[in-house]
Amino acid sequence: MRFAFTDDQLAFAEAVRDLLANECSPSAVREAWSYGRSDGRVPGLWERLAEMGVVGMLAPEGTDGMGMSDVDLVRIVYEAGRAALPDPLAAVAAVAVPTIRDHVESSDAELWLGRIARGEVTIGLGLRPNAAVVGAEVAAAFLLEADDGLHLVDADVVKLSHRESVDGSRRLAVVRWNPSPATLLSGGEDAVRQAHDRAAVATAAELCGLADTMLEMTVGYVAERRQFGVPIGSFQALKHHLADALLAVEFAKPLVWRAAYSLTHADPDASLHASMAKAAASDAARVVGAQALQCHGAIAYTVEYDLHLWLKRTWALVAQDGDGPYHRRRIAEALAL
């Protein structure tokens, strides 16, 4: 028994954190909101992440990947959440890559995985229950769910209908397409289930990262901000709000890390564990976001202050891939309640 990341995993995460601290600053995230000037991504960053091996972590080494596991990756996706990385790391690295690896015929898979791992292309992910695809405009292909399973579909045969997100860096589109046997992946229901589980766990990890940053921003602010002659962080009401926020995220993380372990080891309860992870992380991030806004006060109710960038991403991801009630219903069914 050892429930912790290895030193190597932590060192890699630290390296990604350093890269993102430099290249994905709050102003870079803000810049990704600019319609017309930006495609909702941080220029040049995806290539840097690909060079580090992050994008192709789960791709086999023969396809320019690193042949690593969901546990290795989950800590990196958490870092992406911390930095509010606008690029679709969770969708591409944690879901599209392993799905193509496991369920696309080998020569096609090699081609796709190599291009993805080298950072040349991204994949748009259209899984239920989500209503739209993030980063649809720049995707070279789409991994889409239909009644008969997952399909890998070229971008030039789909129609995009754009939607504006509350998070301006999320370039959404509803994707219209015609499923055909030619685009259907192998694996049937298992492939769909695994993709759902991976998406839920990755989004949960991102939410934990978002929550940690919002909490850190708030702790920093309330220690500086003075009212009534003292830092507002000395008031017990705020202390208790922020203790509750920490409690929520610290008891969500173990469920997220365990779910990644279960994915890695194809545990029979992996779907149950993925649902627990997403339910807990969604609720934790929602609580942390609400407390962060309230404890900041009026300053955070502005678009000049950075908190809203994290808060709006949180709102979007709380619901993405199923929110708390959605996953608790799945858990209830799995437990025969």
Partner 1 sequence: MDLTWTPAEQAFRAEAREWLEANVPRPALPSGDTEEGFALHLEWEHQLHDARWAVVSWPSEYGGRGASLWEWLIFEEEYYRVGAPQRVTQNGIFLLAPTIFEFGTQRQQDHYLPRMSAAQDLWCQGWSEPNAGSDLAGLTSKAVRDDAAGGWRLTGQKTWTTRGAFCTHLFGLFRTDPDSTRHHGLTYLMVPLDAEGVTVRGFGRLDGDEGFAEVFFEDAFVPDGDVDLEAGGVLGEVGQGWGVAMATTSSERGLTLRSPGRFQAAASRLLQLQRQRGGDLDDPTLRDAVVQAWMDAEAYSLYTLADVTGMVEGRSPGFRSSLNKIFWSELDVRLHEAAIRLQRGEAEWVTDGDGIENPWLKGYQFSLSGPIYAGTNEIQRNIVAERVLGLPRK
What is the nearest approach in angstroms of partner 1 to the Cβ of residue 280?
6
Residues 6+ apart with CB under 8 A from 180: 151
Q: Is 39 in the site for partner 1 (CB under 8 A)?
A: no
Contact residue for partner 1 among 178, 254, 301, 302 (CB under 8 A): 254
Q: How far apart are CA 155 and CA 161, in angstroms?
A: 13
Q: Which is nearer to partner 1, 169 or 275 (CB)?
A: 275
DSSP string computed for 231-299: EGGGSHHHHHHHHHHHHHHHHHHHHHHHHHHHHHTT-TTHHHHHHHHHHHHHHHHHHHHHHHHHHH-GG
Q: Is 297 in the site for partner 1 (CB under 8 A)?
A: no
Residues 6+ apart with CB under 8 A from 303: none
Cα angle vertex 84, ends 215, 304, to 5°? 75
Q: Is 161 in the site for partner 1 (CB under 8 A)?
A: no
Among the candidate windows 82-90, 116-124, 178-186, 322-330, which touches partner 1 by CB under 8 A?
A: 322-330
Contacts of 39-44 with CB under 8 Å at 24 or more apart are: 39/137, 39/138, 39/171, 40/86, 40/135, 40/137, 40/138, 40/168, 40/169, 40/170, 40/171, 41/86, 41/87, 41/135, 41/138, 41/169, 42/85, 42/86, 42/87
Q: Is 257 in the site for partner 1 (CB under 8 A)?
A: yes
Q: Is 266 in the site for partner 1 (CB under 8 A)?
A: no
Contact residue for partner 1 among 250, 297, 316, 323 (CB under 8 A): 250
Q: Which is nearer to partner 1, 152 or 277 (CB)?
A: 277
Among the candidate windows 85-93, 180-188, 236-244, 315-323, which touches partner 1 by CB under 8 A?
A: 236-244
What is the nearest approach in angstroms of partner 1 to the Cβ of residue 297?
16
What is the nearest approach in angstroms of partner 1 to the Cβ of residue 37?
38
Cα angle vertex 75, ends 74, 81, to 5°? 90
Q: Which of residues 59-78 bind partner 1 (CB under 8 A)?
A: 71
What is the nearest approach in angstroms of partner 1 to the Cβ of residue 250?
6
The CA-atom distances, in angstroms, between 88 and each of 101, 157, 238, 330 are 18, 21, 34, 26
Q: Is 252 in the site for partner 1 (CB under 8 A)?
A: yes
Q: How many residues bind partner 1 (CB under 8 A)?
A: 43
Judged by DSSP in three states, 154 sits in: strand
Q: Is 22 in the site for partner 1 (CB under 8 A)?
A: no
Contact residue for partner 1 among 261, 263, 312, 322 (CB under 8 A): 261
- Which residues are at the interface with partner 1 (CB under 8 A)? 1-6, 71, 215, 219, 222-223, 230-231, 233-234, 236, 238-240, 242-244, 246-247, 250-252, 254-255, 257-258, 261, 276, 279-280, 325, 328-329, 331-332, 335-337
